Amino acid sequence: MLSDELKEEIQAAYTRLLSEKGYKARHCQRLMIADIARTIGNVEINDEGERLDGPNICVLEAGTGTGKTIAYALAALPIAKALGKRLVISTATIALQEQIVYRDLPDIRKHAALDFSFVLAKGRRRYLCLSRLDLALQEMGSLNQTLALYDDERFDPDESHRVLYQNMMESLGRGEWDGDRDNWQVEIDNSTWFRVSTDHVQCTGKRCSHYEDCFFYRARERIHKVDCVVTNHDLVLSDIMMGGGAVLPAPEDTIYIFDEGHHLPEKARNHFSKFLALNSSQGWLSQIPASLIQMTAELQGIGILPGGQGQFEDAVNEAIAGIEQMYALLDPLQQDAKHDEDGWQFRFPMGVVTEAITQLSSELLRSFTRLSNLTDSLVSALEEQMGDVNEFDDKSCEYWLPVISAIVARVESGAGLWANYMQIDLPGRPPFARWITFREASSQNGVEITLSASPISVSDTLAELLWSRTFASVITSATLSMGGDFSRFRDQAGISSENYFKALPSPFRFHEQAVLNVPAMSVDPREVSEHTELICHLLPDILKDEVGSLVLFTSWRQMLAVIDEIDSQFKEAVLSQGTLSKAEIVSQHKKRIDKGDASCIFGLASFAEGIDLPGKYCGHVVLTKIPFAVPDDPVGATLSEWIESEGGNSFEEIMIPDAALKMVQACGRLLRTEADVGRITILDRRLVTQRYGARLLDALPPFRRELGNRREPKNG
């Protein structure tokens, strides 16, 4: 039971913060504080402080203007400290993560007079690896080149890289840099940074000669000494996949706050997906024997290869032969594949592959498992020998251990893909989506064939790995329900209905601040060319009096077509996604408007959330059509098939709720403060002509509406 002392501490902190900052109490914010405090404060525990079974999750939909960070920090921090638990705040975007760390939490600590410590937690890849920097400077060689798994990992160093790495070493020596990629003075491209960073697979941990000075392990030590850790969904998911407590605090000792929580199911699907590119895999497999010969030569060949070189060569040749057979088996499917912007895609209906593919996948699994066992034994041998400095050159082992560990990880990843393709999904349970992608290979290997598999549902996995273990969790976002109905998100995220779900009221006066317009149009958006032509005709007139505006498209093709065909004078004011980074487009947009010029951003789904354009920077948001999911998305298509096979209606159960949430996100770009006003125009008459249109409109905030020739009066 939440004690009176904790209630008073939270209320006093909130009162102090409001007074110090000159804020007015917001009803929705007070409700959010109370809901979070009650949920996590009333979690039942035993005498050891361990959670007992029962509700421990609070799901709160809270729109822009609520002040979510203040609410969940003030409610959760005192309770977490009282219970001896850690608070982990997880976001989906770097922008929000940095806002919380560099602005919100310092502000709360200062003005609410709460005593707490916090740190920003990043993945291992964000930190420099001193061992790899040493290696890069010593031999600017081709380690990544020879062992690259995919073409985009290949790295061709030149003099500029040597200069950069030398500058890094000198900056470290002078104490001017902390090894954090984000704190280097200029942007570093991924391939350059990849050469001098590492992941958990290739990291040698305490066996590394640089362990005591390792930037990642120093940062990890801080994580376990503070009250609050700010991180991202990807790191939380990576941590629980490694068993929990590997980088972040153990889930059992953690109260999680998942801000931007609507991203969590999709992030989880990405983490639990598998893929394998056939040509690329043949390439790195064929390099293994030569790498092992080089390794044994450098290590003086003291019998380190378990079973000898011959067994490795046999296992590699067997795996390569199997891949060649799979290539021959899959190549004919290209004639039935659908062409998209990335190549050609063939999806297996309901994720069911042919018997021949299943059989060959089973054989490839045996080959990859054999190779995995051999390489895993080699890793164990290297780890054992690294402790015997009298017999081995420790530096040589330190060099080769991450190389062999990377091979092990690739082989195990491949084995996971083959295991997935040979398994038969259980009847009545959500299947995996499985598909093949055909692309032109960058080398002279012809067409690259990639096999992919993704769960269509991660609810059971999240329930098992996260929700069953966490002490307590809060999930919040502006878009978690459809008109107060959380069933879609609940099913996606695997959260049981016994937990607490609530849509908080908004601080905005939607009916007074904004107008939603669906103009009369004769063209249906499904008539793509005619609809595109109509957009080009309507936009200049719709936005002629606007200083700042945002136009959101559902496809690259239509956006680019509109840019090509629209009035040239209007085009001068357009900043289009794809020409600059997202942050730079927003920056240029604001600079134009600050100078008194008009500016209009053209963007896709990524511009429908995560950008802040208050006041004059956005007075009009235009949605070109209802953002229904792309029908050729393999995961979505397989999910729809499965729902239909179970007697459901995928359009009603999936497409409409998902489209509604995307529309709410998009419309949320208009009102960012209680003083903002503006218009939203949706160029899709299906909202008023189709029966599902009413459901979509009802899911949106209660803007004043102009639906064609029908107008609602301003006061009701």
Instruction: Categorize the per-residue pLDDT at 390 as very low, low, confident or very high, splitting at 50, 70 and 90.
Output: very low
pLDDT tier for residue 155 given thresholds of 50, 70 and 90: low
Mean pLDDT of 297-323: 82
pLDDT single digits (tens) 166-215: 899 989 988 889 999 888 888 888 888 988 998 888 888 888 888 888 98
Question: Tokens 């404060």 identify what position?
Answer: 41
Three-state DSSP at 455 gives strand
User: pLDDT confidence of 595, banded at 50, 70, 90?
Assistant: very high
What are the helix (H) ranges across 22-114?
27-41, 68-83, 94-99, 105-111
CA distance 450 to 436: 6
DSSP β-ladder status, 343-347 and 432-440: antiparallel
Average pLDDT, the chain: 90
604, pLDDT greater than 60: yes
Return the structure tokens found at 661. Answer: 């949430």
Model pLDDT, residue 1 = 72
pLDDT, position 154: 52
Q: For the chain, percent helix, then strand, then coil, each to nearest 5? A: 50, 15, 35
pTM of the model: 0.89
pLDDT at 150 over 60: no
Concatenated DSSP letters of 498-541: TSEEEEPPPSS-HHHHEEEEE---S--TTSHHHHHHHHHHHHHH
pLDDT over 70, % of the chain: 93
State the pLDDT at residue 387. Answer: 65
> 545-560 pLDDT, tens per residue?
999 999 999 999 999 9
pLDDT of 445 above 90:
no
Could you say which DSSP state residue 346 is in?
E
Q: What digits encode the pLDDT tens for the residues 625-640?
A: 999 987 778 999 999 9
Identify the residue with better confidence: 633 or 74. 74
**What's the rounded Cα separation, in Å, for the pair 75 and 72?**
5
- For the chain, state the CA radius of gyration: 28
Q: Set out the domains of the chain in order of their start, with CATH numbers.
A: 4-123+219-268+459-503 (3.40.50.300), 129-201 (no CATH), 273-455 (no CATH), 510-711 (3.40.50.300)
Indicate the pairing of strand 447-455 with strand 432-440: antiparallel
The answer to whether residue 389 scores a pLDDT higher than 60 is no
CA pair distance 31, 19, nearest whole angstrom: 19
Find out whether 539 and 521 touch, Cβ atoms under 8 Å. Answer: no
CB-side exposure of 154: number of CA atoms within 13 Å?
10
